[in-house]
Amino acid sequence: MVLAVSTCRTCSPSRGRGDSHQRLSFLVRAPHHLSLLWRGLRIPQRSVLCAQSRECGLWLSLGGFHERGHDWEQTQKIYNCHVLLDSEGSVVATYRKTHLCDVEIPGQGPMRESNSTMPGPRLELPVRTPAGRVGLAICYDMRFPELSLALAQAGAEILTYPSAFGSVTGPAHWEVLLRARAIETQCYVVAAAQCGRHHEKRASYGHSMVVDPWGTVVACCSEGPGLCLARIDLGYLRQLRQHLPVFQHRRPDLYGNLGRPL
């Protein structure tokens, strides 16, 4: 199985088709499609995203959609959504970001996501795809291991984090957090990342990345637009979990059941 990750702020997803022996999952951060401000994220089947999914036979993991909440008229706030399309262009899962980034990092500029965004009410069960069971998260979520543990205990084999990490936190924390989430959950971690400057006070780090369950970075882009490919080996994942059965060794009697199964 192969996963592709695209990183850019302005370019469109690359188009291509794998050979008959491969199923491709394509994960992209596509900010030029972020203005879907309606309730429920009913993506039209004639949209460019659905057309690409059908034409290329790919599943698309799309992070950063803005969705109006049920009380949009009163709050004027949106959900930050991660949408999963199957190879027919149909929406099979939607995750609304649960951890909002309200931070002040020196040199990076303050962020107040809660000013415009509502936190999602729940996690979503991992979705069975041709590449494995995929757990959905978004960006700042990766700082909360309870979320990734809950997805892993619910059956996730691949964790996805479409992101826009800042230019200060990116070099310091991006890779180490992704590797930590992979090691502790024994999952593949796929993180498509925006790059480039948003405005005079904010730039995104880029460096889209795929990490295997051992914590090895098996594919990575640079700070600019790019595409990286990684093979998802579920046999290796299961073998590793058998050799290191950490979930069987957990002690909830001592520290509670962190990341309770969904």
Domain locations in the chain? 2-7+24-103+111-246
Whether the pLDDT of residue 6 is over 50: the answer is no
pTM (2 d.p.): 0.85
Percent over 70 (pLDDT), the chain: 81
* Residues 173 and 163 sit within 8 Å (Cβ to Cβ): no
Alpha helices (runs of H) in the chain, residue ranges in sequence order = 48-56, 72-75, 145-153, 169, 175-185, 234-243, 252-255
Distance (Å, whole) CA 163 – CA 151: 18
- Any idea which residue has 């909002």 for tokens? 100
Contact 222, 192 (CB under 8 A): no
What residues contact residue 140 under an 8 Å CB cut-off, 6+ apart? 97, 99, 100, 101, 113
- Per-residue pLDDT tens digits for 104-133: 888 777 889 999 999 999 999 999 999 999
* pLDDT of residue 49 exceeding 80: no
Return the CATH number of the domain spanning residue range 2-7+24-103+111-246.
3.60.110.10
